Amino acid sequence: MKIKYELLKEEKNSKARLGKIITKYGEFETPMFMPVGTEATVKTLSVEELKAINSGIILSNTYHLWLRPGEDVVNKAGGLHEFMKWNGPILTDSGGYQVFSLAKPKDITEEGVKFKNHLNGDTLFLTPEKSIEIQNKLDSDIAMSFDECPPASADHDYMEKSVKRTIRWAKRGKEVHNNPNQCLFGIVQGGAYEDLRKLSATETVAMDFDGYSVGGVANDGENKKMMYDAIDFSIPYLPKDKLRYLMGVGEPIDIIEGVMRGIDIFDCVSPTRLARHGHALTKYGKINIKNSKYKEDFSPLTDTCDCYTCKMGYSKAYIRHLIVANETLGARLLSIHNIRFLIHLTEELREAIKNDNITEYKEQFIKDYYGSYEKAYGEYNETINK
Q: Tell me the fold of 4-30+61-268.
A: TIM Barrel (3.20.20)
229 a catalytic residue:
no
CA distances from 295 to 275, 307, 323 (A): 17, 22, 11
Q: What is the pLDDT of residues 182-204, one digit of tens each?
A: 999 999 999 999 999 999 999 99
| Domain parsing of the chain, residue ranges | 4-30+61-268, 275-384
User: How many CA within 13 A on the CB side of residue 326?
Assistant: 0
Query: Considering the chain, what percentage of its residues have pLDDT values greater than 90?
Result: 91
Report the pLDDT averaged over residues 131-150: 97
Report the range of poorest mean pLDDT among 117-121, 124-128, 329-333, 336-340.
117-121
- Contacts of residue 326, defined as CB under 8 A and 6 or more positions apart, other chains included, come to none
| From 141, 229, 254, 267, the catalytic residue | 267
Higher confidence at residue 151 or residue 83?
83
| From 93, 147, 229, 254, the catalytic residue | 93
Query: Considering the chain, what percentage of its residues have pLDDT values greater than 70?
Result: 99
Q: What is the pLDDT of residues 216-225, one digit of tens each?
A: 987 877 899 9
210 a catalytic residue:
no
Phi and psi angles of residue 353, each rounded to the nearest 5 degrees, phi first: -65, -45
Q: What is the pLDDT of residues 278-290, one digit of tens each?
A: 999 999 999 999 9
The torsion region of residue 344 among left (phi > 0), alpha (psi -120 to 50) and beta comes to alpha
